[in-house]
């Protein structure tokens, strides 16, 4: 693709293209830098100097939320914006600077400066009543810029429980002019699971000694630990205010051994969850230099034995929670690909922050499936060889899992190919487009056996795609997520983001970049 066509494609996708790293100086490593350092300050100044590109107007302020530096010296500073003191949802941007500090471009979805009035015509109380929020709810006035036409809106959070018992925390956006509900976003991010406990054999665990007992807490990985919630669930007060939450009991032992390999011992699922978080931590650190979910070295924690007959798992912004399954068709949802999936929701939340609805929600779920799968390969565990099935280990009846990345549509619900209806499909099913793209990019089309499982992938345009390997495909997706994607990125924007990432890592004329273009076209994202 020519430079002119690349720029045109980026503009159409809502992501402004940044200059790619010279092909003879690939970005071999990316590290985090200070969010209040000179390069971050420079990025804010550059954003204002290039307002025609960044859409930063006189009534806007910018706050840096993340900053990355490549081995080439280039930097990528992520920031959120406010407008007349109001948060701009979907207004986040990334400013790219060369090694000498020159402005190279920006990544964003906002298409124009904000000029709307910041005075609501609908009261906060009426907005809360519209979505049946509790009387003590505190609606926040924001600018919703996730669609083509930004609107003044009340963000009203309603908490409760989903049909299967998963806690619910929905952000509703109510138009502050008309009082109509613009959109709703589920903040509790889940994986549709069916599964049994993955017993990876005898695995190493780092423990914390406390007196004469040993805690299932890893001091070498941010203090990550695992608790038993004794089949309790989160009520509304717990989800909303952190009050009345189920009792959490840290797993401890009088010796250094946890679990028996049997589901009758409550420690076994806990050992799986702890091992899964350890492997996921190591994968991100050893592969991308990322220091934990938050990138700060701080750990999170696992809750196991959540609910009764609960066939799901979720990330809620600070921890991972796993159900026990129903005991017949599905076992505990603590397999390696699910623990990697849930922790990756945290990585997404703390980088691109992909909105959990529409096409960006599909990309959010695809990101978790992609990296959950990569964690499974990274573990190289003989009892759970890496494959592109999602949740096969706890699927007691069939061992095929809920989703498969080589042929997403085979489950009867997921999308293998993009269409204009993708934005209206449940995010767990629209994720199939991203999953299919990644599989084709990594493995190529056609039939092959991976991890002892037969895989076969066709393309939506009848083309033949040659894969570049999992490691390079994952490196491209991670860079696109952390450097180029923003909260409202859609599939067209993801194409541009991954093309930019491939150019940065391997060169603008590289086989890898050409493969990215071919794989997106193969799933009808062109």
Instruction: Retrieve residue 157's tokens.
Output: 């959070």
CA dihedral 34, 38, 39, 43 (to 10 degrees): 110
* Residue 342 is among the residues annotated as catalytic for this protein: yes
Q: Which of 341, 428, 436, 455 is catalytic?
A: 428
d(CA 520, CA 108): 20
Produce one character per residue of 478-489: b if its CB has 16 or more CB atoms within 10 Å, e if not. Answer: bbbbbbbbbbbb
* Residue 428 is among the residues annotated as catalytic for this protein: yes
d(CA 441, CA 518): 8
Name residue, tokens 């390997």: 469
CB within 8 Å of 257: residues ≥ 6 apart: none
Q: Which of 104, 185, 342, 393 is catalytic?
A: 342
d(CA 510, CA 440): 17
d(CA 283, CA 379): 8
d(CA 15, CA 90): 12
Instruction: Retrieve residue 248's tokens.
Output: 């959490």
> If 0-12 CB within 10 Å is exposed, 13-18 middle and 19+ buried, where does residue 284 land?
buried
d(CA 89, CA 87): 6
Instruction: Retrieve residue 507's tokens.
Output: 């060169």
Nearest Cα residue to 330 out of 525, 230, 196, 443: 196
Q: Are strands 320-323 and 312-315 parallel, antiparallel or unpaired?
A: antiparallel
Phi-psi region of 302 (alpha: psi -120 to 50; beta: other; left: phi over 0): beta
In 109-231, the DSSP E strands lie at 140-144, 151-161, 167-175, 181-186, 189-192, 208-210, 213-215, 217-218, 224-228
Euclidean distance between the first and final Cα of the chain, in Å? 12
Please list the active-site residues.
342, 428
């Amino acid at each position: 693709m020519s430079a002119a066509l690349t720029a045109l494609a980026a503009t159409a996708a809502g992501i402004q293209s940044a200059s790619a790293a010279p092909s003879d100086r690939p970005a071999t490593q990316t590290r985090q830098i200070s969010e209040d350092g000179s390069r971050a300050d420079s990025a804010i100044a550059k954003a204002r100097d290039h307002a025609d590109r960044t859409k930063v107007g006189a009534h806007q302020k910018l706050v840096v939320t993340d900053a990355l530096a490549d081995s080439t010296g280039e930097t990528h500073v992520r920031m959120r914006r406010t407008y007349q003191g109001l948060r701009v949802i979907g207004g986040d941007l990334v400013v790219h600077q060369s090694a000498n500090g020159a402005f190279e471009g920006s990544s964003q979805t906002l298409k124009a400066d904000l000029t709307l009035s910041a005075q609501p015509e609908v009261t906060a109380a009426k907005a809360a009543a519209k979505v049946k929020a509790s009387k003590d709810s505190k609606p926040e006035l924001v600018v919703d810029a996730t669609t083509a036409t930004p609107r003044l809106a009340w963000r009203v959070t309603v908490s409760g429980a989903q049909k299967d018992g998963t806690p619910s925390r929905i952000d509703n956006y109510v138009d502050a002019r008309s009082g109509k509900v613009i959109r709703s976003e589920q903040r509790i991010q889940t994986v549709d699971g069916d599964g049994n406990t993955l017993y990876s054999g005898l695995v190493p665990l780092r423990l914390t000694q406390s007196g004469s007992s040993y805690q299932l807490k890893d001091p070498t990985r941010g203090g990550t630990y695992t608790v038993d919630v004794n089949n309790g669930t989160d009520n509304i007060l717990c989800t909303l205010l952190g009050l009345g939450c189920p009792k959490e009991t840290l797993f401890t032992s009088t010796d250094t051994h946890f679990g028996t390999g049997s589901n009758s011992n409550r420690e076994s699922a806990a050992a799986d969850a702890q091992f899964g978080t350890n492997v996921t931590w190591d994968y991100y650190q050893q592969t991308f230099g990322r220091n934990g979910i938050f990138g700060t070295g701080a750990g999170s924690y696992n809750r196991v034995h959540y609910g009764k007959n609960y066939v799901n798992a979720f990330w809620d912004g600070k921890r991972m929670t796993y159900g026990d399954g129903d005991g017949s068709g599905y076992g505990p949802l603590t397999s390696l690909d699910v623990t990697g999936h849930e922790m990756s929701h945290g990585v997404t939340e703390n980088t691109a922050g992909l909105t959990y609805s529409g096409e960006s929600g599909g990309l959010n779920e695809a990101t978790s499936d992609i990296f959950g799968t990569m964690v499974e390969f990274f573990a190289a565990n003989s009892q759970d060889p890496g494959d592109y099935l999602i949740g096969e280990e706890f699927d007691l009846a069939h061992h095929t899992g809920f989703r498969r990345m080589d042929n997403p549509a085979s489950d009867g619900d997921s999308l293998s190919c993009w269409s204009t209806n993708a934005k209206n499909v449940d995010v767990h099913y629209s994720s199939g487009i991203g999953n299919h793209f990644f599989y084709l990019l990594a493995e190529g089309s056609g039939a092959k056996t991976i991890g002892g499982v037969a895989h076969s992938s066709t393309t939506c345009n009848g083309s033949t795609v040659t894969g570049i390997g999992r490691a390079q495909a994952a490196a491209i997706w991670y860079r696109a997520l952390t450097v180029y994607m923003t909260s409202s990125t859609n599939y067209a924007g993801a194409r541009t983001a991954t093309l930019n990432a491939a150019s940065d890592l391997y060169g603008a004329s590289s086989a890898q970049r050409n493969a990215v273009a071919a794989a997106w076209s193969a799933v009808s994202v062109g």
